[in-house]
C-alpha cells in the first residue's frame, strides 16, 4: 500500500511553462519533504514543510502543505531544462521513518 500518491506520474513541458505537482495521502503527516533526483544520483532534499497551510518558496519553486497536513503541492514557475528530474515527496508520521511518494518524472524541453 502506497501511503503517498503523486500526480501526475509523468510531465513533459516546454521551457517557460508553469507546472504543479501534487502529493496526496489519506493519512496525516507531521511533516512533508520534497526531494529531487537526477539520473544516476540519489534524491536531494529541496524543502521541508511542517505546519498545516505553510508555504515555502525556493527561487522559482513554491511548496505548500495542506491545511489538514494530508497533502502537499510543488509549483514551478517558468520551468527550465535544469528542472528536469524525478520529484519525490516524503512524509514522516511522528517516527524517524521517512516514507516516499510514487514520484513525478518531469522533462523540460528547451
85 binds another protein (CB under 8 A): no
Reference 50, options 64, 61, 62; nearest CA is: 64
Query: DSSP character for 16?
Result: T
For position 94 contacting another protein by CB under 8 A, the verdict is: yes
Determine, following the binding rule CB under 8 A, whether residue 1 of this chain makes contact with another protein: no
Distances (CA, A) of 85 to 1, 31, 42, 93, 97: 25, 23, 11, 26, 24
Q: How far is the CB of 73 from another protein (least distance, A)?
A: 18
Q: Does 103 engage in binding with another protein (CB under 8 A)? A: yes
Binding residues vs another protein (CB under 8 A): 2, 30-31, 33, 40-45, 48, 50, 88, 90, 92-103
Amino acid at each position: 500500500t502506497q501511503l503517498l500518491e503523486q500526480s501526475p506520474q509523468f510531465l513533459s513541458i516546454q521551457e517557460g511553462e508553469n507546472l504543479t505537482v501534487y502529493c496526496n495521502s489519506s493519512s496525516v503527516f507531521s511533516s512533508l519533504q520534497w526531494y529531487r533526483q537526477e539520473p544516476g544520483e540519489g534524491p536531494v532534499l529541496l524543502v521541508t514543510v511542517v505546519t498545516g497551510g505553510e508555504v515555502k518558496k525556493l527561487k522559482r519553486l513554491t511548496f505548500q502543505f495542506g491545511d489538514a497536513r494530508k497533502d502537499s503541492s510543488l509549483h514551478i514557475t517558468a520551468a527550465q531544462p535544469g528542472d528536469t528530474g524525478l520529484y519525490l515527496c516524503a512524509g514522516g508520521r511522528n517516527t524517524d521513518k521517512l516514507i516516499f511518494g510514487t514520484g513525478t518524472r518531469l522533462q523540460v524541453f528547451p
